Amino acid sequence: MSDSHTRRWPRIARPAKALLAMAGLVALQWLGDALVARTGWPVPGSLVGLLLLLVGLVLRGHVPQALDDVSAPLLRHLMLLLIPSVAAVGLYVGLLAQHAVAFLLVSVGVTALTIVVTAWTLQRLLKRAAD
């Protein structure tokens, strides 16, 4: 929408942009699922959709305000999405005990990798903000 439309109908413009942002997120998840189904990649389609979103945001150079408005509440309640994972750990405790060493090594390794990548990303963002 152009700026003149936004000034004339400010109450309509923001919800419309939010709906478009939500539709974009759903479309990227659908596209990721479709790519995984078509290619047979052994990764979740939602992960591929997130990577597509990341590529789009990197190419754009910033997060559009409407996308930020839509994603902020989702990120605030992200822990709710982990409840099924926690329940699965409780359900498969015997299997985890059987493979405890491998599980611990992978968990510690992935956590360390996440910390390193997060620190590296933060350093790059801080340098970019300082420039």
pLDDT per residue over 66-102, tens digit each? Answer: 999 999 998 888 888 788 878 888 888 888 889 999 9
Query: Is there a single domain that holds both residue 95 and residue 68?
Result: no
The predicted structure's pLDDT at residue 119: 96
Count how many domains the chain has: 2
Q: Are residues 17 and 1 in the same domain?
A: yes
Do residue 119 and residue 70 come from a single domain? no
Residues in CB range of 28: below 8 A, 6 or more apart: 49, 50, 52, 53, 56
CA–CA gap between residue 71 and residue 107 (Å, rounded): 27
Range of the domain at 109: 81-131
Q: What is the mean pLDDT of the chain?
A: 88
Residue 35 · residue 41 · CB < 8 Å:
yes
If asked whether residues 103 and 67 sit together in one domain, one would say no
Same domain flag for 67 and 104: no
Sign, Cα dihedral of 114, 115, 117, 122: positive
Looking at residue 11, its pLDDT comes to 67
